[in-house]
Structure 1
Amino acid sequence: MAARATLHCLTGCAIGEILGMVIGTAFGWGNVETTVLAVVLAFFFGYALTLRGILAAGVAFKAAFRVALAADTLSIAVMELIDNGVIALWPGAMEAGLADLLFWVSLALSLAIAFVVTTPVNKWLIGRGKGHAVVHQYHH
């Protein structure tokens, strides 16, 4: 269950992270602006994916939003910290352009590393009835 929860988190984070990095890089934004956009979009898409499932179960938006915040915030935060930390520390990754293999390789590997680090966090949360365990009751 922890790996599935982390994969769910990874999906939302990857959509936002990749979109943010592509937009920031395409517009020639600085590292800080690009990273902030990527993180904001990662949280947005991470929460949106969770909200979609909870809303489909018939839960009102306000209650669904609270569940998504409680379930996903720590997982997304850890994933983003690791993902962006790896990219920031990878020599040349922040300067790589969209046409550079380094851009895509560093992004893919940083997300993979974030998955490995975040899975035990989700296992810990689930073991305490938190995180994805809160959302599980809404899955069909």
Structure 2
Amino acid sequence: MDHATHHHPPAAAGHGHHPPASAAAATSWTMAAQATLHCLTGCAIGEVLGMVIGTALGWSALPTVVLAVALAFVFGYALTMRGVLRAGVDGRTALKVALAADTVSIAVMEILDNAVMLAVPGAMEAGLTSWVFWASLAFALLVAFVLTTPVNRWLISRGKGHAVVHAYHHAH
């Protein structure tokens, strides 16, 4: 049962049981940060791998970014599917859950971190042995995390994004 549809019985004396607004907000931000961190893990694996491969092969920025984005989606979906499959779900359903849970989050994260990489002068051309490349990539992922967390909070508050995975785990 997901938290959006979970019903708390009324407390004594006819008063509804509601957590303090600050507790609800903190929980929502915590859930959003955890969802974003989960998304960032898959994105970072794909992003780093794509940037490393493209840079090592001497590719220009466009094919390197395309590869990094594609791999970020693959690894992001794979991490979510792994958890859903553990809940005893078939592969097709796990893929549907991953697509519903992660697509918006990964897309936002990828737009942000690649925009930062492209905006930092010399980052894409720096090469794998340069601190500029690695510092820019770490900074890009940090920016993506910070700016994607509110997006995930908004999605979760509407029963979307990682709320789909959360609800699915609790339902099975």
Q: Report the equivalent of 2:146.
A: 116
Equivalent residue for 2:62, pick from 22, 32, 35: 32
Residue from 23, 27, 39 that aligns with 1:9: 39
Bigger Rg, structure 1 or 2 = 2
CA RMSD of aligned residues (A): 0.9
| 3-state SS, counterpart of residue 64 of structure 2 | helix
Amino acid at match of 1:33: P
What number of residue pairs does the alignment pair up? 140
Distance 1:22 1:138 in 2: 35
Structure 1 residue runs of 4 or more that deviate by more than 4 Å after TM superposition: none
Please state whether the residue corresponding to 1:137 is helix, strand or coil: helix
Q: Which runs of 5+ in 2 are unaligned?
A: 1-30
Q: Who is 2:107 aligned against?
A: 77
Which amino acid letter does the alignment assign opposite residue 75 of structure 1? Answer: S
> CA contact under 8 A between 1:53 and 1:138: conserved in structure 2?
no
What is the letter of the counterpart of residue 65 of structure 2?
T
TM-score between both structures, scaled by the size of structure 1: 0.98
Residue pairs, 1:57-96, within 5 angstroms? 57-96=87-126
**Distance in 2 between the 1:39 and 1:19 partners?**
10
* Alpha-carbon distance in 1 for matches of 2:89, 2:75: 19
TM-score (norm 2): 0.80
Deviations along 1:75-120, one digit per CA (max 9) or x if unpaired, are: 0000000000001111111111001000000000000000000000
Q: Which whole-Å deviations, capped at 9, do the CAs of 1:40-73 have from their partners, x for residues lacking one?
A: 0000000000000000101111111011001000
Q: Distance in 2 between matches of 1:61 and 1:30?
A: 36
Counterpart code for 1:19: L
What is the identity, as a one-letter code, of the residue corresponding to 1:20? Answer: G
Match of 1:130 in 2: 160
